[in-house]
């Protein structure tokens, strides 16, 4: 005797439903994977705009003569900038283009008179943010109990994701206002 109540179709319906849910989940995964780098870039851009605002606020402040005054006796306009970089960052550089030849070989040599912020998320193209001509950045060096401009002049390059706290100070160097970055090219100085 053959049953005609549709019970044989229930298993087919369940299989089709499960297959459709798997297809939808796969499309969702692919969409998120494509959207995540864009979201991360936008997050970094928002932080770069915040840094630009901070740098403009500093530029009009008092500057310490980096050649004659110790930062413990007199300090210039000083600010702390906190940045949170995603784990997918290739590099984040201040005052330099860390990969000027786009060949993956990073460098920290000062470029564009230190008026640039460049960052790159893995799998995406690098983004360049130009600073105003009155904003000039230099990597600092702690030497003989004082923060001074590192020679030869460099910018800061961060290669890993994470939370960073970067100290910035406005200094006068050969009659020119420079924003000094307390740090080195492995981990920014934490004050």
5-49 pLDDT, tens per residue?
Answer: 555 556 777 888 888 888 888 888 877 777 777 888 889 999 999
Both structure tokens of 163: 């939370």
The DSSP call for residue 68 is T
Average pLDDT of the segment spanning 94-115: 89
Number of other CB atoms surrounding residue 147 within 10 Å: 23
pLDDT at 4: 60
Read off the pLDDT band of 185 (50, 70, 90).
low
pLDDT at 3 over 70: no
Number of other CB atoms surrounding residue 116 within 10 Å: 20
pLDDT at 174: 86
What torsion, rounded to 10 degrees, do the Cα atoms 84, 127, 99, 133 define? -90
Which pLDDT tens digit goes with each residue over 48-73? 999 999 999 998 889 888 888 777 78
Both structure tokens of 114: 């230190």
List the beta bridge partners of residue 79. 168
pLDDT at 9: 58
Both structure tokens of 115: 């008026």
> Please, is 64 exposed, middle or buried when counting C-beta atoms within 10 Å of its C-beta (0-12, 13-18, 19+)?
buried
> Is-contact 111 155, C-beta < 8 A?
yes
pLDDT at 7: 56
Which pLDDT tens digit goes with each residue over 117-136? 999 998 888 999 999 989 99
> Under 8 Å CB-to-CB from 110, ≥6 apart: which residues?
95, 96, 138, 139, 152, 153, 154, 155
How far is 37 from 119, CA to CA, in rounded Å? 12
3-class secondary structure, 22:
helix
pLDDT at 190: 37
pLDDT at 75: 84
- N- to C-terminal Cα distance for the chain? 85
> Under 8 Å CB-to-CB from 164, ≥6 apart: which residues?
82, 83, 84, 85, 158, 187, 188
């Amino acid at each position: 005797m053959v049953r005609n109540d549709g019970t044989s179709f229930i298993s087919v319906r369940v299989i089709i439903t499960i297959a459709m849910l798997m297809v939808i989940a796969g499309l969702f995964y692919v969409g998120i994977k494509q959207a995540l780098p864009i979201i991360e870039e936008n997050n970094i851009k928002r932080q770069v705009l915040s840094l630009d605002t901070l740098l403009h606020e500093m530029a009009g402040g008092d500057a310490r003569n980096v050649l004659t005054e110790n930062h413990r006796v007199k300090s210039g306009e000083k600010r702390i900038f906190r940045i949170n970089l995603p784990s997918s960052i290739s590099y984040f550089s201040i005052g330099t283009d860390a990969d000027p030849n786009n060949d993956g070989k990073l460098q920290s040599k000062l470029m564009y008179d230190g008026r640039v912020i460049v960052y790159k998320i893995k799998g995406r193209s690098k983004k360049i943010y130009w600073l105003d001509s009155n904003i000039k950045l230099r990597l600092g060096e702690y030497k003989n109990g004082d923060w001074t401009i590192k020679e030869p002049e460099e910018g800061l390059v961060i290669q890993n994701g994470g939370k960073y706290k970067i100290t910035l100070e406005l200094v006068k160097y050969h009659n020119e206002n420079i924003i000094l970055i307390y740090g080195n090219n492995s981990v920014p100085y934490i004050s």
